[in-house]
Amino acid sequence: SIPIAEYATPSTSELPAAVRKYVKAHDGMLLANHGALTLGADLFAAYYKLETIEHFAKISLVARMLGRENLIAREEVDRLQGLRTNYGIKAPAPIG
């Protein structure tokens, strides 16, 4: 899941406060009225996470333009979460 942090004025203490709510559980988020923010062990990791967010956004937009997004059942989401360790992904993805 990709949370949306509340709008905050740039270059004020409001912005890090809005981000702080999500940083421990998410490595990517949208900043309301600003854009995307990603975190990673290095610049390339953060960049690839940003590319993933943008790719998902395009898929979601096209699906909506074609009529609807086809959401999968919660049971299938749980099953997919369980498979993450098979792919070398340690932490489960946060589900919003």
Q: Which two tokens stand for residue 81?
A: 């979460």
Work out whether strand 28-31 and strand 4-5 pair parallel, antiparallel, or are unpaired. parallel
How high is the pLDDT of residue 52?
A: 92
Map residue 10 onto helix, strand or coil: coil
Mean pLDDT by 10 residues, the chain (96 residues): 92 94 91 94 94 93 92 89 80 61
How high is the pLDDT of residue 77?
A: 86
How high is the pLDDT of residue 69?
A: 87
How high is the pLDDT of residue 82?
A: 84
Q: Which two tokens stand for residue 19?
A: 């981000």
At 31, which helix (H) or strand (E)? strand 28-31
How high is the pLDDT of residue 93?
A: 62
Q: What span, in angstroms and rounded, lies between the C-alpha atoms of 65 and 23?
A: 31
pTM for this structure?
A: 0.72
How high is the pLDDT of residue 96?
A: 57
Matching residue, tokens 């098979």:
86
